Amino acid sequence: MMNLRLLILNLSFVFLLISCSKKISDIDVNQSATIFKYGIASGDPTNTSIILWTGISENEKKLADEMKWEISRTADMNSIVQSGTATLTNQTASTFKAKATGLEPGTSYYYQFSTKKYKSKVGATSTMANNADQVRIAVVSCSNYEAGYFNAYESLADKSLDFVMHLGDYIYEYGPDTYGDKTLSRKHLPAKEILTLSDYRQRYAQYRMDPDLQLAHQKHPFIMIWDDHEISNDAYQTGAQNHQDDEGDYMTRAGIAKQVYHEWMPTDVTANDPLYRQFSIGKLVDVIMLDGRLEGRTQQLETAGPELANQSMLGAQQLDWFKNQLRSSTAKWKLIGNQVIFSPLNMARVRDQQFNMDAWDGYASERNDIISYIDENEISNVVIVTGDTHMSWAFEVPYKASAYKNNYRPVAIEIGTPSITSSNLNERSPSEEVIMGEKMLQVSNPHLKYVDGRNHGYTILTLKQETASVEWYYVSNLKTKTYVERLGKRLHFTLDGGNQLLK
Ligand SMILES: [Fe+2]
């Protein structure tokens, strides 16, 4: 009898173990990773709020009604300060956004999404500080999936940063083997140039399944703007170089591109709102993000001429807003998130065309108007950060480029960040030629203090009350996941008192 009771007890214990292990397997991490296959992201931090984002497998739409988010002071998610239900941002790919509010300034937080059965990974994020001693920002641009592995995104994931600023070309619109490395197995989906709503959604879905990009989003909040390739190459308000008549109505395509961008990005902006916006980091930094593509850009000219006077990069409304932001800012640093090179850049010695007409040189009247405005209003400590070129740059933005050698009068600093993967000059020409070209550019442009067209990576800006520095980090390889990172260059600058130096 005793033996039988013992046997029953033992059997009950074994049964209990089996049922326990079944419950654990129901929420196992691998299954959750399959459900939350697009990872998590956060962005557009203010001093009390942050946007949270996730995307789940299209096969799990039934979970859409129960998507919860929580934000905690600790990484173990045991110190929850806010929680809520996330909003579905589209029905096809099942992407979700939520705005966590009522947070403390200058504070690190952790966040997680969950359904009844599954939990996402835990993400790290932070709010903007009211009284920061320093701000550290990674600046990135130009991540072409077909050009290589996103090793630079992986590298910046473990850096100590306040946020990542993405200056655009987050995706590329081309079909497979059009622009990239044909020898790699990383081929664009859908297998065509993206034109329709489902095309754009599928392209973002592909990029957001990249583990290195997912890691960068998981570890840091992002502040983002688009450049041209989120729409189509050399985009402007009413057209693009890579949009032909037989590809449908351009404005419809641009509208789709905007809509899908906000579905997938942790932006606190809807597709009907302008993308240009401002963020404050106490008295230390005002961040001004510009949209030099869709808001008001006129079509690029073929060459420089009298028509330059009619060219607009920002459009009248955004230009007014920008000037007001500059003039009313009481922060030490005015940090401008910008797409294409702002400084005058004479390329006559290295290219057939003297100026890049897609850059601010093709919109020189408006650029010179902004320079005069900064000068006349004695707006100090303006730092412009720029993407687009797949090169590293440091300019002292001259009041007048032609007089710079004899009348040293910089009005701002401009920093250009290299590409995450998009092609370098030495992937198209021999390195020795590129090095010679870099030297020639500095000879022709004395306000150009650093240039490198041979490396991929990202830039870190560190802004303090008295000093600032910029560091370019380069990765050794894109073609495999085996690589090393190195500090390629560091420059310091101080802008107060008229002696605005990069050294
Ligand atoms: Fe690019």
The pLDDT assigned to 497 comes to 52
d(CA 66, CA 117) in angstroms, rounded, equals 10
142 C-alpha to ligand 1 centroid (Å): 4
The residue among 461, 478, 473 whose CA lies nearest residue 155 is 473
Run of H or E including 21: helix 2-26
320 C-alpha to ligand 1 centroid (Å): 27
The pLDDT assigned to 143 comes to 98
314 C-alpha to ligand 1 centroid (Å): 19
Residues 122, 89: contact at Cβ < 8 Å?
no
The pLDDT assigned to 90 comes to 80
The pLDDT assigned to 59 comes to 83
323 C-alpha to ligand 1 centroid (Å): 27
389 C-alpha to ligand 1 centroid (Å): 6
463 C-alpha to ligand 1 centroid (Å): 26
d(CA 279, CA 289) in angstroms, rounded, equals 8
250 C-alpha to ligand 1 centroid (Å): 20
- Distances in Å between the Cα of 465 and the Cα atoms of 15, 135, 436, 469, 477 are 65, 10, 37, 12, 36
d(CA 85, CA 115) in angstroms, rounded, equals 10
495 C-alpha to ligand 1 centroid (Å): 29
293 C-alpha to ligand 1 centroid (Å): 13
The pLDDT assigned to 20 comes to 38
d(CA 132, CA 450) in angstroms, rounded, equals 29
Residues 135, 162: contact at Cβ < 8 Å?
yes
The pLDDT assigned to 257 comes to 98
421 C-alpha to ligand 1 centroid (Å): 9
The pLDDT assigned to 24 comes to 40
DSSP calls for 327-388: HH--SSEEEEEESS--S----TTTSSSSS-TTSGGGGHHHHHHHHHHHHHTT---EEEEE-S
The pLDDT assigned to 92 comes to 67
192 C-alpha to ligand 1 centroid (Å): 19
pLDDT tens for the chain, residues 1 to 503: 445 454 444 544 444 333 333 344 445 567 888 899 999 999 999 999 999 999 998 888 788 888 999 999 999 999 999 999 998 888 666 899 999 999 999 999 999 999 988 999 999 999 999 999 999 999 999 999 999 999 999 999 999 999 999 999 999 999 999 999 999 999 999 999 999 999 999 999 999 999 999 999 999 999 999 999 999 999 999 999 999 999 999 999 999 999 999 999 999 998 889 999 999 999 999 999 999 999 999 999 999 999 999 999 999 999 999 999 999 999 999 999 999 999 999 999 999 999 999 999 999 999 999 999 999 999 999 999 999 999 999 999 998 888 777 777 789 999 999 999 999 998 989 999 999 999 999 999 999 999 999 999 999 999 999 889 999 999 999 999 999 999 999 999 876 655 456 66
Token readout for 253 is 């395509």
387 C-alpha to ligand 1 centroid (Å): 7
- Distances in Å between the Cα of 459 and the Cα atoms of 131, 279, 392, 473 are 24, 20, 9, 6
The pLDDT assigned to 12 comes to 47
154 C-alpha to ligand 1 centroid (Å): 19
> Torsion angle of alpha carbons 240, 245, 246, 252, nearest 10°?
60
Query: DSSP letter at 297?
Result: P
169 C-alpha to ligand 1 centroid (Å): 5
Token readout for 118 is 């599954």
Which structural domains are found in the chain, ordered by start?
29-126 (2.60.40.380), 134-502 (3.60.21.70)
391 C-alpha to ligand 1 centroid (Å): 10
d(CA 279, CA 130) in angstroms, rounded, equals 12
Query: DSSP letter at 313?
Result: S
* Residue 486, strand partner residues: 474
Token readout for 307 is 């028509």
> Torsion angle of alpha carbons 19, 24, 30, 33, nearest 10°?
130
Cβ neighbours, 10 Å, residue 79: 12
334 C-alpha to ligand 1 centroid (Å): 25
The pLDDT assigned to 15 comes to 40
